[in-house]
Amino acid sequence: MDAVVDAGVPVRILVTGATGFVGNALCAHLYKLGHGVTVIVRRPAAEAGPYDVISIPRIEPQTDWSSALRGVDVVVHLAARVHLMNDASSDPVLEYRKENVETTLNLARQAAMQAVGRFVYLSSVKTNGELTLPGVLFRETATPNPKDPYGRSKCEAEDGLRQLCKEGRMDLVIIRPPLVYGPGVKANFAALMRAVQRGWPLPLGSVRNRRSLVALGNLVDFIATTIEHPNAANQTFLVSDGHDISTPDLVRGLARAAGLSARLVPVPVWALKAGAALVGKSEALQRLCGNLQVDISKARALLGWEPPLTVEQGLLQAMESIRTP
């Protein structure tokens, strides 16, 4: 279909997950670009700020989106049940499918009925898989190979969205980021930053791997690009900083950003794996020691996109956000 957004022309954009790590930064960026931004919140906000705020207490497969979608040109769907290291749900598969598949497709169907022009879906590299072989990069053309309920739910949502948009006039953009870091990051990456900041010795000096990451500023810029670019219609993209690093290099980069020296202890990887298995942390260690690389040549060629932030700049922004006064 024809481009739904002319580059540089303000449009009305609905953002779900707007109060989250990515959503906060994205809404601010879109507003700075001059777009109208409608955000979805669970509770009415006392101060709306520069955005139009719509309260929807529960986002579920039966949610009525009609009032939120009125006058909207583009939907950016960030809200999801995220990957949990220790999922306490009695049926994680059911919960992931309910929140990440059924809820997503319900929103997309209603968006298509309201003549929304473009639906931008934040998926995950976990649709491709968990690890790459040395020198082998994930590409958009590869057969999906999700390994856990979260990855499978994202993959299923992608398939459902493609079929839905194929049948109508709304076009679709799917974005698969790897680990996203930046101001406000939580979970394991935040723990690693705090360990570096406190000068703790880390037993990662012998790790030899390559991993793709994406700085929050780079991901936000890429999402904004796909909102406006006509070549993004009905495409799937992998996105990253465009420069892969090892885990020891990541630690060194965080230390430099904090004005410190990295304290890396050369413990053999086999010993790390044995210790992690004993304490039930094998999955977390896999993220530190394994390879996961993505190819962003499609985004570069089709959209002319280049990451605006270097890895060094992204790590500096992340570390500055946790520095104590």
In the residue annotation, 150 being an active-site residue is answered as yes
Q: What is the pLDDT of residues 79-101, one digit of tens each?
A: 998 865 555 566 778 989 999 99
Which of these is catalytic: 51, 96, 121, 150? 150
Angle at the Cα of 65 from the Cα atoms of 59 and 71, rounded to 5 degrees:
140
CB 181 within 8 A of CB 245: no
pTM for the predicted model, two decimal places:
0.92
Strands 12-16 and 118-122: unpaired
Q: With CA atoms as reference, report the closest residue to 97 among 14, 144, 39, 159.
A: 159
pLDDT digits (tens, 9 = 90+) for 107-132: 999 999 999 999 999 999 999 999 99
CA distance 47 to 125: 35
Q: What is the pLDDT of residue 1?
A: 44
Question: Amino acid identity of 312?
Answer: E
The pLDDT tens digits for 41-62 are 877 664 556 888 888 888 889 9
Residue type, 93: V
Domains of the chain listed by start with CATH number:
12-182+214-241 (3.40.50.720)
> Which residues does the chain have with pLDDT short of 70?
1-9, 44-49, 83-90, 323-325
3-state SS, one letter per residue, for the chain: CCCCCCCCCCCEEEEECCCCHHHHHHHHHHHHCCCEEEEEECCCCCCCCCCEEEECCCCCCCCCCHHHHCCCCEEEECCCCCCCCCCCCCCHHHHHHHHHHHHHHHHHHHHHHCCCCEEEEECCHHHCCCCCCCCCCECCCCCCCCCCHHHHHHHHHHHHHHHHHHCCCCEEEEEECCEEECCCCCHHHHHHHHHHHCCCCECCCCCCCCECEEEHHHHHHHHHHHHHCHHHCCEEEECCCCCCECHHHHHHHHHHHCCCCCCECCCCHHHHHHHHHHCCCHHHHHHHHCCECECCHHHHHHHCCCCCCCHHHHHHHHHHCCCCC
Q: Which two tokens stand for residue 124?
A: 């995950």
